[in-house]
């Protein structure tokens, strides 16, 4: 706790030195000034963790000073020192954003309690702000391709409703990210987002996981336990990998959705909750229904708002944006200077099909940020399967002919150069060392069109 910086603003030298003595004895760092103008000069350079501010001072009034401080530094924590504690000034100061009061004559004890309370308050505020920021960052959806814009629109439309959402998409394409984004943009965002991965929980445990159990409901149920439906009350329940749920569990989930009610395993009481369900699957649920492995009625219950998350290979224009985002993130996390990807390396990124989607891209960049020796990640740094050469060396079956491989690489390479040169064809042709007309023919052959910059 000690070591925090406290500013004292008071025109009475005796008060300044008393307060300073008390606070320094407790290990705080103390600065003091004798008036409002000096206080404002102080705040121009520094933000103390806590400020004591006298209400009555010559020249500049304490309330006026408080207003100015709060205007410059809304996050400043200010405790007023009041001589004649009238209700009126107290109310005014509170409106202006004062955190607390101490009255003259100053009580040592009261001062120290006030200080530690105010500093604790400031610490919690900072923690909250950091949590909010990291939560928002975790739901940031990157990309400007038409597919991603449409996805963002769908999320914005679905979020404010209570409609059940069924998200479909390949592995690592961003299904959970979409579910979180819907929750964060909904009226439920201050209530819990609770996730259940149906594929990761053994069949015998899934019911208790979802609905909870009473003490003694089965061997090992030593105490009553709340289930995920209960924990998500008022918020969102994310049922991930829904296609992996057994028919028996599906029946129970169906009932709880229909009635918004359920019983704990081994319990008699019927519990009612207010839960919005978002489900996700990477499997073909229609196929599972045909095979009799997924209940059609449950499917229709869950599939009120269907959302399809596009595979990364269908929106390759977004790859450069993902690359710079992840590079910045991993360089920061690993305390490294920002690296860049050479344009040849980016060409390989664009040529590759990313069967593991954004997760695969993310893992690849984390690995490269850590492993690549220089500031520039070069084509030589890329492992298989990004570099077709190495993939072939590794004996991977490649159905593509040499020409297909070359074409797809050339297309990706040209695309990367175009982006780097802001779609300026003349400049790109120069960089590639070919005639402009030649580049135009290539663009046509590879069906490369500049992005539309409207909407």
* 316 binding ligand ATP? (CB under 6 A): no
Of 51 and 282, the one with the shorter C-beta distance to ligand ATP is 282
Which of 358, 364, 372, 382 contacts ligand ATP by CB under 6 A?
358
Least Cβ distance, residue 178 to ligand ATP (angstroms): 7
Shortest distance (Å) from residue 173 CB to ligand ATP: 5
Among 35, 62, 172, 385, binds ligand ATP (CB under 6 A): 172
> Which distant-in-sequence residues (6+ apart) come within 8 Å of 33 by Cβ?
7, 8, 9, 39, 41, 42
Q: Toward ligand ATP, which CB reaches closer, 200 or 376?
A: 200
How many CA atoms are closer than 13 Å to the CA of 15, on its beta-carbon side? Answer: 26
Q: For ligand ATP, which is the closer residue by CB, 158 or 414?
A: 158
Binding window for ligand ATP (CB under 6 A); candidates: 50-58, 111-119, 170-178, 438-446: 170-178
Other C-beta atoms within 10 Å of 312: how many? 26
Q: Where are the beta strands (DSSP E) in 72-218?
A: 78-82, 100-103, 165-168, 193-197, 212-213
Nearest residue (CB) to Mg ion, 31 versus 197: 197
Provide the angle, in degrees to the nearest 10, between the axes of the packed helices 247-259 and 203-211: 10
Of 5, 121, 283, 359, which lies in the binding site for ligand ATP, with binding defined by CB under 6 A?
A: 359
- Binding to ligand ATP by CB under 6 A, coded x per residue (else -) over 271-290, reads -----------x--------
For residue 24, the Cα-to-chain-centroid distance in whole angstroms is 40
DSSP notation for 287-300: HHHHTTSS-HHHHH
Confirm or reject binding of residue 221 to ligand ATP (CB under 6 A).
Answer: no
What track of x and - describes contact with ligand ATP for positions 377 through 416 (by CB under 6 A)?
----------------------------------------
* Residue number with CB closer to Mg ion (159 or 358): 358
Signed CA dihedral, 187, 193, 199, 203: sign only = negative
**Near ligand ATP in 130-169, by CB under 6 A:** 141-143, 169
Which positions ≥6 away from 339 have C-beta within 8 Å?
327, 331, 368, 369, 372, 374, 375, 376, 377
**Which of Mg ion, ligand ATP, none sits in contact with 358, Cβ below 5 to 8 A by type?**
ligand ATP
Locate the DSSP E strands across 260-316: 261-263, 270-272, 276-281, 305-308
Query: Out of 213, 252, 362, 411, which residue is the one contacting ligand ATP (CB under 6 A)?
Result: 362
Q: Does position 175 bind ligand ATP by CB under 6 A?
A: yes
Contacts of 447 (CB under 8 A, 6+ apart): none
Q: What is the DSSP string of 2-28?
A: TT-EEEEE-S-HHHHHHHHHHHHHTT-
If the CB atoms of residues 111 and 151 are measured against ligand ATP, the closer one turns out to be 151
295 binds, among Mg ion, ligand ATP, none (CB under 5 to 8 A by kind): none
Residue from 49, 54, 176, 207 in contact with ligand ATP (CB under 6 A): 176
> What's the Cα-to-Cα distance from 338 to each of 261, 329, 365, 420, rounded to whole Å?
52, 9, 12, 18
Nearer to ligand ATP among residue 78 and residue 151 (C-beta): 151
172 touches which of Mg ion, ligand ATP, none (CB within 5 to 8 A by kind)?
ligand ATP
Contact residues for ligand ATP, defined by CB under 6 A: 141-143, 169, 171-177, 282, 358-359, 362
């Amino acid at each position: 706790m000690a070591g925090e910086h406290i500013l004292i603003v008071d025109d009475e030298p005796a008060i300044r030195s008393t307060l300073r003595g008390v606070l320094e004895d407790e290990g705080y760092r103390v600065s003091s000034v004798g008036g409002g103008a000096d206080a404002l000069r102080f705040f121009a350079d520094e933000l103390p963790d806590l400020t004591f501010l006298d209400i009555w001072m010559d020249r500049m009034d304490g309330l006026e000073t408080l207003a100015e401080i709060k205007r410059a530094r809304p996050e400043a924590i200010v405790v007023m020192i009041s001589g004649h504690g009238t209700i009126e000034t107290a109310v005014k100061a509170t409106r202006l954003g004062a955190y607390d009061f101490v009255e003259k004559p100053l009580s040592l004890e009261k001062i120290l309690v006030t200080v530690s309370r105010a500093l604790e308050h400031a610490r919690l505020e900072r923690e909250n702000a950091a949590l909010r920021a990291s939560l928002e960052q975790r739901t940031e959806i990157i990309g400007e391709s038409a597919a991603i814009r449409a996805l963002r629109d769908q999320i914005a439309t679905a979020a404010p409703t209570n409609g059940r959402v069924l998200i479909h998409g390949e592995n690592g394409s961003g299904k959970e990210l979409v579910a979180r984004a819907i929750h964060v943009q909904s009226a439920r965002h201050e209530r819990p987002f609770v996730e259940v991965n149906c594929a990761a929980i053994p069949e015998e445990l899934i019911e208790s996981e979802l609905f909870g159990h009473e003490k003694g409901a089965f061997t090992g149920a030593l105490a009553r336990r709340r289930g995920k439906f209960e924990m998500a009350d008022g918020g969102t329940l994310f049922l991930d990998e829904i296609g992996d749920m057994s028919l028996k569990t599906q029946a129970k989930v169906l009932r709880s959705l229909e009635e918004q009610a359920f019983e704990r395993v081994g319990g008699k009481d019927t519990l009612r909750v207010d839960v919005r369900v978002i489900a996700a699957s990477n499997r073909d649920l229609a196929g599972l229904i045909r095979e009799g492995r997924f209940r059609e009625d449950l499917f229709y219950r869950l599939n009120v708002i269907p959302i399809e998350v596009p595979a990364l290979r269908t929106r390759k224009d977004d790859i450069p944006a993902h690359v710079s985002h992840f590079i910045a993130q991993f360089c920061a996390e690993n305390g490294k200077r920002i690296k860049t990807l050479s344009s040849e390396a980016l060409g390989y990124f664009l040529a590759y099909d990313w069967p593991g989607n954004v997760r695969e891209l993310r893992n690849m960049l984390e690995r490269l940020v850590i492993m690549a020796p220089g500031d520039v990640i070069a084509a030589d740094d890329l492992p298989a399967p990004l570099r077709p050469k190495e993939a072939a060396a590794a004996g991977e079956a490649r159905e593509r002919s040499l020409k297909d491989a070359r074409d797809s690489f050339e297309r990706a390479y040209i695309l990367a150069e175009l982006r780097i040169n802001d779609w300026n064809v003349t400049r790109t042709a120069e960089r590639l060392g070919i005639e402009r007309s030649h580049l135009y023919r290539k663009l046509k052959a590879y069906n490369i069109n500049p992005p539309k910059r409207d909407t």
